[in-house]
Amino acid sequence: MQSRRLFITALAASFLSAPVLAQELSGTLKKIKDSNTIALGHRESSIPFSYYDDKQQVIGYAQELMLKVVDAVKADLKLPNLQIKLTPVTSQNRIPLVQNGSVDIECGSTTNNSERQKQVAFSNTFFVIGTRLLVRKDSGIKDFPNLAGKNVVTTAGTTSERLIRKLNEDKKLGMNIISAKDHGESFLTLETGRASAFMMDDALLAGEMAKAKKPADWVVLGAPQSREAYGCMLRRDDPAFKKLVDAALAKAMTSGEAEKLYKKWFMSPIPPKGLNLMFPMSEDVAALFKNPNDKAFE
């Protein structure tokens, strides 16, 4: 009799626990499990973070970190044959594409700030930058005040666009600000003489120099107008997926994997021209690798 009661109790417990287990998978992880596909958002010309090489393959520092997240998702959901859908995004459409489910995660060169946190969630930070200027070495421009009355290009939908417009208004510099669709178009505007300076994140500016016809003609300069944290974008209110993404990035940072990737993409020759950005790791990034976190600077 006792054994029969124990059997019934165990059977009842199994039925009660089944719905709980089914409910554990929700949000993005359930979407990925049900479709056996994860949708990755990438940039087309954010060198060296996320961009196309000369074979139209998506490569870069942020792209490799995002693939480590994919590996973690495969392991967690037990989906060894998980399919990857690559979706190019721009500064202007990246947030809507995450929000509407077209992209599950975007890792490129997106700044985590308080304003964007109202629209999307951010992973642990994987890079820290300062916003500066790219100019010709013989331009005579040394810092932002020298931009008065000049054409200045930046990429539409970026924090740099907001900053340069505010600076122009506050300091009454009379700049003509050109908003290009992506970083590649911004640099082309500069390279062809239609702008005297390109304002953007310092690491991205170094990346644009790497694909210039004559990299030695260019220099990154100017007092940083902001300090910003790059993170991967996720949909809001999805703690299970964020926890998995954060853990995968933290593992890469604390294990030394991210440092190896840093050396590969910032201190070694990279595609498409095999040029070395020679962009040493900052104290901010070194500290981040020791203590991963998702804090924004503004």
| pLDDT one-digit tens code per residue, 50-62 | 999 999 999 999 9
Asked whether residue 6 is domain-assigned, the answer is no
Coil, strand or helix: which one is 64?
helix
Residues 38 and 99 in one domain: yes
Residue 297 CA to residue 292 CA, distance in Å, equals 14
Residues 87 and 37 in one domain: yes
pLDDT of residue 12: 47
Asked whether residue 211 is domain-assigned, the answer is yes
Residues 181 and 112 in one domain: no
Q: List all residues 6 or more positions away from 283 whose beta carbon is below 8 Å from its beta carbon.
A: none
Helix, strand, coil % in the chain, rounded to nearest 5:
45, 25, 35
Cβ–Cβ under 8 Å, residues 135 and 199: no
Residues 175 and 137 in one domain: yes
Residues 178 and 211 in one domain: yes
Residues 37 and 108 in one domain: yes
pLDDT of residue 22: 43
* Mean pLDDT value across the chain: 93
Residue 8 pLDDT > 60, yes or no? no
Residues paired with 51 in a beta bridge: 45, 59
pLDDT of residue 278: 92
In the block, residue with structure tokens 């932002």: 144
Look at residues 81, 71, 85 and name the one whose alpha carbon lies nearest to residue 40: 85
pLDDT of residue 6: 47
Residues 222 and 232 in one domain: no
Residues 106 and 34 in one domain: yes
Residues 106 and 244 in one domain: yes
User: Which tens digits make up the pLDDT trace of 90-148?
Assistant: 999 999 999 999 999 999 999 999 999 999 999 999 999 999 999 999 999 999 999 99
The whole domain housing 217 covers 131-226
Asked whether residue 149 is domain-assigned, the answer is yes
Q: What is the mean pLDDT of residues 201-212?
A: 92
Beta strands in the chain (DSSP E): 37-42, 45-46, 50-52, 58-59, 83-88, 105-106, 121-136, 151-155, 176-180, 197-201, 218-221, 227-234, 269-270, 275-276
Among 192, 226, 260, give the residue marking a domain's end: 226
- Compute CA 267 distance to the chain's CA centroid, rounded to the nearest angstrom: 19
CATH classification at residue 143: 3.40.190.10
Asked whether residue 296 is domain-assigned, the answer is no
Residues 34 and 122 in one domain: yes
pLDDT of residue 4: 53
Among 226, 243, 268, give the residue marking a domain's end: 226
Q: List all residues 6 or more positions away from 58 whose beta carbon is below 8 Å from its beta carbon.
A: 42, 50, 51, 52, 86
Domain count across the chain: 2
Residue 262 pLDDT > 80, yes or no? yes
Cα torsion at 270, 272, 273, 276 (round to 10°)? Answer: -20
